[in-house]
Structure 1
Amino acid sequence: MPRGSLAEEARRTLTRQGAKVLTPVLHQRVAYSHAVIDGRSVHEYEPEGQAAAEITDLYNHITRLYGKTDRKAKAA
């Protein structure tokens, strides 16, 4: 079974049951574990890493859902 198929099956099942499933995906990355061990966020641990990009994407998606601005837009 391909690696991503479990997550995709869960997404399909939840959608069929009427649940709202967000588009951004958080993958299982070592950076999340290392950041927790260090007591930091992934943005502090590895600011340019994929885990930080995933969290930023999730944050931006949620803020757009609630009519807020993107993180980068606030800094500009």
Structure 2
Amino acid sequence: MKILYFAWVRQRVGLAEEDVAPPAEVRDVAGLIAWLATRSPGHASAFADPRQLRAAVNQDFATPDQAVAAGDEVAFFPPVTGG
């Protein structure tokens, strides 16, 4: 699974992207966030408040209950605002 990080999420994690192999019990975006938060202090900081994050799975916006699987591309980024 390829994970992409954008904006302040990237800054906190310290990576633009990484390839990961989450355990079998990680089945959705929420589970992935919880698991990623355990990977390092930077990950813990980035994923401390999941309400402050948005996700996309295979380039489509995703909700926390969106399924994820090996081979997916999952991106995390702050909420997008415009004007």
Structure scoring higher RCO (CA < 8 A, sep ≥ 6) equals: 2
TM-score by length of 2: 0.26
TM-score by length of 1: 0.28
Pick the structure with more strand per residue. 2
Larger Rg: 1
